[in-house]
Structure 1
Amino acid sequence: MLKSNSLAHGLICALLVFGSFAASANNREIEVDNQVVTEHKTTIKGKRVSYSATTGTQPVWDEEGKAVASLFYTYYQRTDVKEQEKRPLIMSFNGGPGSASVWMHVAYTGPRTLRIDEEGYPVQPYGVQTNPYSILDVADIVFINPVNTGYSRVLKDEEGKLPSKEKQKEMFFGVNADVKYLAEWLNTFVSRHNRWPSPKYLIGESYGTTRVSGLALELQNSQWMYLNGVVLVSPTDIGIERNGPVKSANRLPYFAATAWHHNKLEPELQKLDLDELLPQVEEFTLNKLLPALAKGAFISPEEKAEITATMARYSGLSEKAIEQNNLDVSTAFFWKELLRDEGKTLGRLDSRYLGIDEKESGDRPDYWAELTSWLHSFTPAINHYIKHELKYETDLKYNMFGPVHPWDRSDNNTGKNLRQAMAQNPYLNVMIQSGYYDGATNYFDGKYNMWHIDPSGKMRDRFSFKGYRSGHMMYLRRADLEASNEDLREFIKASLPAEGVPAQYPR
């Protein structure tokens, strides 16, 4: 009888567990706090590396200590080294806002990378392969998905209700709310994984550069966590104004790089290497074009004709097209116009990619050719990789882009905050990485940011800029995957002070 009761009890428990799983699956509810650890080996720069991958969720708590959201993360830790506390920790974010941390995770710094061709285009079968250039040999990495991206979600309250849209925006979906809750989350992560002694770095891509610029100061001032480096990949404006003539003029170097790539420049310019061409265009942009645009309608006819001719020469566009746009050529028009006579449009985030519109007329492309290509390869790869290699099982949908809008962009002082963090912390260095063919966050805007983060110039030796012959996600091109990871590796090594060197300014 006892045996029968035990069997019945076991069956009831099993049914309860299954019922709980089924209910969770039906509701697609996130597990608030869990993790799965797997062990792996890979080869980086010709050397064998052993590492663990911890995939899971960690709560976001409100001021009363209640879990209000849970963030999905993947943490890679090298396991075949001694003195783990000396290993740098890289905390990685993508952008959007509303984008998962998939892009840099399985295409840039992680130990596995997409199966794509040498230039970054999709190939089948979809999946991932070894990343022989990953920085995991020199640093551990955690990839964090902010609320509503990846598997991260807002949690229901005790009554089973989600916070109102306005409340969610207040808690998570804005420049400053985003920075505040993520800093708290990182404090918990660092404590749980015993990484307080480690040198720490933030890397953000696109809107992620706004995020990490703000986090640099928030971590110092609210969490007492100091960094060695911040890496800005394809940076946004980070709150630094670039309106009017500056915004218009700064596009020209990107136009020139893209026209050069598509062989649309005159032979004298086309025969130059890109590294020879761009300094010419940058010099003209700063010293000729910017002052000309500042004169507006009162520019002299002679100067306007000279500027128009030079812009046409460097952009690959006709003088007529430039005149019709009053010297202020938008990126959308450029994407449509440059290859109009060939019936092709250019990609926004990477202008090496080509699209085909329904009509050749018009002043902007029908769609972004690069984004459809990337989603083509990234989406199946990340879904398969997480479940089958990292063994993390859930019925939640992996949000490549999640519902986070409307996003509160007010009071964006993240660039100034980054400067303040650097001033307070003599160890803190900044590197900017940009693709020359990125039309959304163009490389010259990235340089402009670097010049204006610290107007005093007293910290200019702590900034560096690296450019690549690809677009927004420059690492998709195989040659730039190797180069950009090596630049990261060198940045990390260079920003690690020698033992005993104090964080202070010399007299």
Structure 2
Amino acid sequence: MKGNPIQFAVTAGHLEAGSSGNASASSLGKAAIFYTAYARLDLPKTTRPVTFIFNGGPGGASAVMDVGFLGPMRFDWNAPTFALADNPNTLLDKTDLVFVDPVGTGYSKAIFPNKNDDFWGVDDDASVLADFIIQYINANQRQESPKYLYGVSYGGIRVPIIGRMLIESGTTKYTEKKDSKNVLAGLILNSPVLDYEADCLSNDAPCGGNLPTYAAVVADWEKSLERSGKPIEAIPDDLGAFVRDYNKYYYSSFSGVDNRKVKDRTKWEAFLKQPEAPPFLDRLYRLTGIGKIYAPGDSKANNPWIEEPNMNSFEFSWFFDSGEDRMLLLADGRMTIKLSDTDPAFDRRPVFDPLAQRYQREFIGYSSNLGYMGSNGEVIDNWDFRSHHPDDPIKPDREVSSIPDLSASLRLNSDLKVLVQHGYYDLNTPFYQSELVLAALPAAMKVPVKLYEAGHGIGPGDGPEAKLVLYSRVLSDLNTFYDRPQPDGVLTAMRSPLPETVQP
């Protein structure tokens, strides 16, 4: 790494995990969890950091997080046939790596008489994976290693919940060295969704937190009338007040408007007759290039914002003028696909799976008569997103949020390090929405949100020369995170106090 060769060992296989683990999983069955682990041989493993890595979905396996992303190897796309090359930006330089496949992905399966879908819920998933981590720690004598969790996308839900479970369990499940102080050192959340209740793509919620992403996308397409030569870093500050106004108007005037359902437009139609309406709609037009300058008599026939004032990412990608018969890519609004194509965010075809299986067979030496399940759409179709708050007396059917788990972890372990990474152009999990959600944490618990000129899933891997500056920044921030002995206490990277999220 960094021009210096290092020796490492790679292992792959299954560990049995389940009801013997976290106390909250007492009724949970058992599963065989598949993993791929890389450990340096030139450093003592007892004190070397180890990071457990999870993909999102839910329903995503970890191989795509391994080869060419965080692991030590990458595919050599310039070779005429299947070939591998060193990944010079692997995190193996800082930490041993364990890539974990949740039940129903990769080769991970429930152990009879349990079924895979027994584990397809927020808490059941987190519990069996927390127990896997305990089993791995005990089997590999990693009790004293600083331990990190890394999650992408849905990992923003999964990882904080697993983290809380591990902190609450402490060392009680360790088979030795129960006096270890290294229960959990840190969490890395890459392009996370943190609160589905606040996610307007999947729930009835204000889309104000999406507006800075829309503005960043438009600015990159050079269609913004508001940029005026300002750097992209200025967009969130410039829009903070308008985001607050937008969310206020949502609750007062257009929460009943949704063109995907038949709802009540009465308050919205009344708002359109008020003096605040023209400047509000004009600002949306100038930010996005969608619609027009408002004039009395305008209707949903000539202005999409009148039809759908709470425009989510998918609707924005559809209405934005990105070229004939094309729409924006949700993972990166700087790119487009044909209207007839399936966005990769919803595409479940196993494009990567044969490569992953060949890598496992030819490099690791692991083979299976099963097909590697890199993306299992059946998982997300049957996932219980409400299983995390079954006892909520105020709203028992609420969607899941990991913010209470993150808060609990920071209270229990004040030395816990947390890093959140987002891309400006990620329409899948907009960055400012995460900042709004994280603003609910007490001041002493604020965590840094690092922003990059990137889309969804920000990796440190190598690539085209134009991306090398981005990759070096990502890697530098990750290195700083691992090197930092303790958190800064309060967030110094945040630009200014975030606007309040107005609640009904």
TM-score higher than 0.5: yes
1:491 matches 2:481 = yes
Which of 157, 162, 166 is the matching residue for 1:210?
Answer: 157
Which of 167, 177, 189 is the matching residue for 1:232?
Answer: 189
Deviation at 1:492, TM superposition (A): 1.2
Letter in 2 for 1:73: Y
Which of 367, 382, 387 is the matching residue for 1:406?
Answer: 382
The answer to which of 214-223 and 241-250 deviates more is: 241-250
What is the aligned-residue identity percentage?
25
Instruction: Please state whether the residue corresponding to 2:42 is helix, strand or coil.
Output: coil
Deviation at 1:92, TM superposition (A): 0.7
1:94 matches 2:55 = yes
Contact 1:254 1:439 in 2 (8 A): yes
Instruction: Please state whether the residue corresponding to 2:189 is helix, strand or coil.
Output: strand
Instruction: Please state whether the residue corresponding to 1:59 is helix, strand or coil.
Output: strand
CA distance, structure 2, for counterparts of residue 66 and residue 370 of structure 1: 30
When you count helix as a share of all residues, which structure comes out higher? 1
Contact 1:240 1:415 in 2 (8 A): no
Contact 1:184 1:223 in 2 (8 A): no
Which of 169, 194, 217 is the matching residue for 1:258?
Answer: 217
Contact 2:424 2:430 in 1 (8 A): yes
Contact 1:350 1:471 in 2 (8 A): yes
CA distance, structure 2, for counterparts of residue 292 and residue 61 of structure 1: 46
The C-alpha deviation readout for 1:366-416, integer Å capped at 9, x for no partner, is 52057769965x334322211111111112101012343411111235320
Return 5+ residue gaps in structure 2 as ranges: 21-25, 172-181, 254-267, 293-301, 390-399, 489-504
CA distance, structure 2, for counterparts of residue 67 and residue 326 of structure 1: 45
Contact 1:254 1:438 in 2 (8 A): yes
Contact 2:403 2:438 in 1 (8 A): no
1:292 matches 2:271 = no
CA distance, structure 2, for counterparts of residue 87 and residue 60 of structure 1: 24
1:192 matches 2:174 = no
Could you say which residue in structure 2 is the equivalent of 1:57? 14
CA distance, structure 2, for counterparts of residue 65 and residue 374 of structure 1: 34
What pairs with 1:300-379 in structure 2 (closer than 5 Å)? 301-319=274-292, 320-339=302-321, 341-358=323-340, 366-368=341-343, 376=351, 378-379=352-353
The answer to which of 137-146 and 402-411 deviates more is: 402-411
1:471 matches 2:433 = no
For this pair of structures, how many residues does the alignment match?
A: 426
Deviation at 1:497, TM superposition (A): 8.3
Could you say which residue in structure 2 is the equivalent of 1:140? 96
Q: TM-score, normalised by structure 2?
A: 0.77
Deviation at 1:150, TM superposition (A): 0.8
CA distance, structure 2, for counterparts of residue 383 and residue 260 of structure 1: 40
Instruction: Please state whether the residue corresponding to 1:47 is helix, strand or coil.
Output: coil
Contact 2:327 2:337 in 1 (8 A): yes
Deviation at 1:111, TM superposition (A): 1.2
Instruction: Please state whether the residue corresponding to 2:227 is helix, strand or coil.
Output: helix
Could you say which residue in structure 1 is the equivalent of 2:40? 78
Larger Rg: 1
The answer to which of 478-487 and 238-247 deviates more is: 238-247
Deviation at 1:344, TM superposition (A): 1.5
CA distance, structure 1, for counterparts of residue 235 and residue 290 of structure 2: 17
CA distance, structure 1, for counterparts of residue 110 and residue 51 of structure 2: 25
The C-alpha deviation readout for 1:170-219, integer Å capped at 9, x for no partner, is 4x110011111111111110011111101111111111221111011111
Deviation at 1:135, TM superposition (A): 1.6
Could you say which residue in structure 1 is the equivalent of 2:117? 169
Could you say which residue in structure 2 is the equivalent of 1:154? 110
**Distance change in 2, residues 1:339/1:242 (3 Å):** closer
Instruction: Please state whether the residue corresponding to 2:444 is helix, strand or coil.
Output: coil
Which of 430, 434, 447 is the matching residue for 2:435?
Answer: 447
1:392 matches 2:366 = yes
Instruction: Please state whether the residue corresponding to 1:399 is helix, strand or coil.
Output: coil
Which of 434, 440, 450 is the matching residue for 2:422?
Answer: 434
Instruction: Please state whether the residue corresponding to 1:106 is helix, strand or coil.
Output: helix
The C-alpha deviation readout for 1:54-90, integer Å capped at 9, x for no partner, is 1111112445999842111111111122x33221111
Contact 1:187 1:223 in 2 (8 A): no
**Distance change in 2, residues 1:497/1:459 (3 Å):** closer
Letter in 2 for 1:196: Q
Contact 1:200 1:227 in 2 (8 A): yes
Letter in 2 for 1:426: S
CA distance, structure 2, for counterparts of residue 346 and residue 115 of structure 1: 28
Contact 1:353 1:369 in 2 (8 A): no
The C-alpha deviation readout for 1:401-441, integer Å capped at 9, x for no partner, is 23434111112353202211110111112111111111121
Could you say which residue in structure 1 is the equivalent of 2:69? 108
Letter in 2 for 1:272: K
Contact 1:112 1:130 in 2 (8 A): yes
Contact 1:72 1:144 in 2 (8 A): yes
Which of 110, 126, 130 is the matching residue for 1:183?
Answer: 130
What pairs with 1:407-426 in structure 2 (closer than 5 Å)? 407-410=383-386, 411=389, 412=400, 414-426=402-414
Which of 196, 204, 207 is the matching residue for 1:248?
Answer: 207
The C-alpha deviation readout for 1:426-465, integer Å capped at 9, x for no partner, is 111211111111112111112123212x2x32222xx111
Which of 67, 76, 86 is the matching residue for 1:130?
Answer: 86
Could you say which residue in structure 1 is the equivalent of 2:355? 381
Deviation at 1:325, TM superposition (A): 2.9
